[in-house]
Amino acid sequence: MSEQTSYTEDNIRSLDWKEHIRMRPGMYIGKLGDGSSPDDGIYILLKEVLDNSIDEYVMGAGKTIEISIQGERVIVRDYGRGIPLGKVVDVVSKMNTGGKYDSKAFKKSVGLNGVGTKAVNALSSYFRVESTRDNKSASAEFNQGNLTNQDLLDDTSRRKGTKVTFIPDEIIFKNYKYRSEYVVKMLKNYVYLNPGLTIVFNGEKFYSENGLKDLLSENINESDMLYPIIHIKGEDIEVAITHSKTQYSEEYHSFVNGQNTTQGGTHLAAYREAIVKTIREFYGKSYEASDIRKSVVTAIAIKVMEPVFESQTKTKLGSTDMGGELPTVRTYINDFVKTYLDNFLHKNPDSAEKLQRKILQAERERKELSGIRKLAKDRAKKASLHNKKLRDCRVHFGDIKHDRNLESTLFITEGDSASGSITKSRDVNTQAVFSLKGKPLNCYGLSKKIVYENEEFNLLQAALNIEESLEDLRYNNVVIATDADVDGMHIRLLLITFFLQFFPEVIKDGHLYILQTPLFRVRNKKETIYCYSEEERRHAMEKLKPKPEITRFKGLGEISPDEFVHFIGEDIRLDPVMLDKDMSIEELLSFYMGKNTPTRQEFIIDNLKVELDVVEDAL
């Protein structure tokens, strides 16, 4: 009989607020990450501080917020009312302390539970808060949540408001880097939701006059709009909607009290239902919901009294009530959409006619695909998806509709040796592997029919569970893991084309990445250094001289599972796939995957010269 582990009074521990946050950071900020994903912890830290400044603006205090990110140091300065000076320390270091509990001071605010800035404080190696009001100023400095200094100035000429400076702790966030693209997207959403607010980020100003209409204009070219953006606003709700001429999938942007609810919730479910119900009633036809919503590009923002979110990171609304004497979320959104969308369609017959033609076209395509879809699903079952192509992770076993975990990752790789190395070295709890067989098809310009007829695409779609909606996406991170040679680059391009052509929201919402793997291994008898570039190789050789052993990895299959575990674990390096805001998806696909042109030939030659220069340096 095995010896039992002792369990006594000595095993019982009481943690103070900062110890608990540092021990269980995921409870407060979701996943940690290194900044390669838009929902990584360092962006949540920024958001938690920024939310307080936004709430000041919402309450009519301060029209400008200034943000600076230089390396690891983040500064957020607002010109709101300023924290009451006697509570500056308490507000950032005592749990469940803050002004958001007083509905007279903050109504329909983002931060509600008095946790946000405490989490930032506890997870920062340096944290400073300064408040100015009534010509006086109070400040406090912390290290990992521990107060190190505080000061009070009786007279100051500084403008009123709050200034927070913090440096995320490298003990918690390893090898992190802020990516300006993700910060800019976050800030743009804030100004879209708060017309009249100016946010200055590293000297660049962001401002919106037209709210969610500007958001949609940013995400879809005017030439691709089926009809002009429908933009309607109420006291606690705002909606912008159009349909794309070319996009296959549905695209939603949803917000509650200024928070981007990336995983939707009760309000988004009600909104999708309301769109279908209103359009059916307007045309007097029981069109399929999927035909009505196909190619829709839309945004909704609502304000709720004391909203209930499903986690501290506030990415999914759980509330069913609007608060106060207002009706349920579902009823409120349905009534609003019914009234204003119906009015728009009656007043704009040209737009209504274009929309109906789009719905009928979607209906024809769906019926044409119905038989193929059934065959494709049967084929997926016969292929023993979970055993042959997909080696799933434990968070999904037995439940293909399982909510995606923020840490869940699917590696898409090619070849038995590479798939085998990743499979043997992965974290079976959160990391899955999908094995390609050879190069996928170039699907540029092809219809959705090809997704069901092509075995690779059909099984990949089934593994990701994205046929109906991105809300059902089973993996938060979709990682293309191919060799760093010409064939590997070509496979990457073909897979990116697949997502851009049929499921662009996977890229737009920051779920698609390229796995970086080392090009060189430099080692001596005492130390091994893996190098991802020629520059890193030179530094490693200087460090490990004289004459260390140098290995050039030619492919993923050459890296043993014992070594591969280093590259997909804590030290994983991911390059996010991002869209160029100045080029439409159609333009991107046409340039890279369409017919050869002199412009593309020139682009290839110029970049080939750069690659040859790198090779020459290595030699």
pLDDT by residue (tens digit) across 146-174?
999 999 887 788 899 999 999 999 999 98
Q: Clarify whether residues 413 and 345 are in a common domain.
A: no
pLDDT at 374 over 80: no
Find, among 204, 263, 251, 256, the residue nearest to 224 by Cα: 251
Find, among 176, 145, 114, the residue nearest to 22 by Cα: 145
Q: Clarify whether residues 430 and 547 are in a common domain.
A: no
Find, among 520, 615, 554, the residue nearest to 415 by Cα: 554
Q: Clarify whether residues 408 and 362 are in a common domain.
A: no
Residue at which a domain ends, from 147, 181, 206: 206
CB 258 within 8 A of CB 110: yes
Q: Clarify whether residues 462 and 480 are in a common domain.
A: yes
Return the pLDDT at 96. Answer: 55
On whether residue 537 sits in a domain, the answer given is: yes
pLDDT at 401 over 60: no
Return the pLDDT at 202. Answer: 96
Tokens encoding 192:
């879209």
On whether residue 58 sits in a domain, the answer given is: yes
Q: Clarify whether residues 545 and 615 are in a common domain.
A: no
C-alpha to C-alpha distance for 307 and 485, rounded to whole angstroms: 50
Return the pLDDT at 108. Answer: 55
The tally of domains found in the chain comes to 5
Residue at which a domain ends, from 177, 206, 235: 206
Q: Which residues pair with 168 in a beta bridge?
A: 124
Average pLDDT over residues 512-519: 90
On whether residue 372 sits in a domain, the answer given is: no
Map 287-302 to HEC letters.
CCHHHHHCCEEEEEEE
Return the pLDDT at 558. Answer: 79
Tell me, what DSSP letter sits at residue 579?
Answer: -
C-alpha to C-alpha distance for 129 and 150, rounded to whole angstroms: 9
Q: Clarify whether residues 117 and 30 are in a common domain.
A: yes
Q: Clarify whether residues 179 and 149 are in a common domain.
A: yes
CB 298 within 8 A of CB 216: yes
Q: Domain of 73: which CATH number?
A: 3.30.565.10
C-alpha to C-alpha distance for 432 and 410, rounded to whole angstroms: 5
Tell me, what DSSP letter sits at residue 11?
Answer: G
- Computed over every residue of the chain, the mean pLDDT equals 84
Q: Clarify whether residues 602 and 567 are in a common domain.
A: no
pTM beyond cutoff 0.85: no
Average pLDDT over residues 438-444: 86
Kindly report, residue by residue over 228-244, the tens digit of the pLDDT. 999 999 888 999 999 99
pLDDT at 217 over 80: yes
Q: Clarify whether residues 193 and 266 are in a common domain.
A: no
15: Cβ contacts below 8 Å, ≥ 6 apart = 23
Residue at which a domain ends, from 165, 189, 206: 206
C-alpha to C-alpha distance for 86 and 587, rounded to whole angstroms: 57
Return the pLDDT at 619. Answer: 40
Give the burial class of 234: count Cβ atoms within 10 A of its Cβ; 0-12 exposed, 13-18 middle, 19 or more buried: middle
On whether residue 611 sits in a domain, the answer given is: yes
SS3 574: strand
More confident residue, 63 or 100: 63
C-alpha to C-alpha distance for 44 and 42, rounded to whole angstroms: 5
Measured in degrees and rounded to the nearest 5, phi and psi for residue 532 equal -100, 0
On whether residue 301 sits in a domain, the answer given is: yes
Angle at 262 between CA 271 and CA 207, to 5 degrees: 90
C-alpha to C-alpha distance for 189 and 187, rounded to whole angstroms: 5
On whether residue 10 sits in a domain, the answer given is: no
Average pLDDT over residues 473-477: 89
Q: Clarify whether residues 538 and 420 are in a common domain.
A: no
The count of other CB atoms within 10 Å of the CB of residue 188 is 18
Give the burial class of 520: count Cβ atoms within 10 A of its Cβ; 0-12 exposed, 13-18 middle, 19 or more buried: buried
Find, among 404, 559, 383, the residue nearest to 481 by Cα: 559
Return the pLDDT at 396. Answer: 67
Q: Clarify whether residues 341 and 354 are in a common domain.
A: yes
Q: Clarify whether residues 181 and 126 are in a common domain.
A: yes
Measured in degrees and rounded to the nearest 5, phi and psi for residue 156 equal -150, 150
Helix then strand count (H, E) for the chain reads 21, 22
Q: Which pLDDT band holds residue 370 (cuts at 50, 70, 90)?
A: confident
What's the domain range around 84?
17-206
On whether residue 418 sits in a domain, the answer given is: yes
C-alpha to C-alpha distance for 349 and 329, rounded to whole angstroms: 30
Kindly report, residue by residue over 304-354, the tens digit of the pLDDT. 887 887 765 677 888 787 776 678 889 999 999 999 999 999 999 999 999
Average pLDDT over residues 255-274: 89
Angle at 617 between CA 615 and CA 619, to 5 degrees: 70
Find, among 45, 49, 89, 43, the residue nearest to 65 by Cα: 49
CB 258 within 8 A of CB 51: yes
* β-sheet with 520-523: strand ranges across: 528-531, 520-523, 549-552
C-alpha to C-alpha distance for 383 and 147, rounded to whole angstroms: 59
Return the pLDDT at 501. Answer: 87
DSSP 413-477: EESHHHHHHHHHHS-TTTEEEEEE-SPPP--TT--THHHHHSHHHHHHHHHHT-SS-GGG-S-SE
C-alpha to C-alpha distance for 465 and 467, rounded to whole angstroms: 6
On whether residue 8 sits in a domain, the answer given is: no
Sign of torsion, CA 166 171 173 175? Answer: positive
C-alpha to C-alpha distance for 606 and 418, rounded to whole angstroms: 31
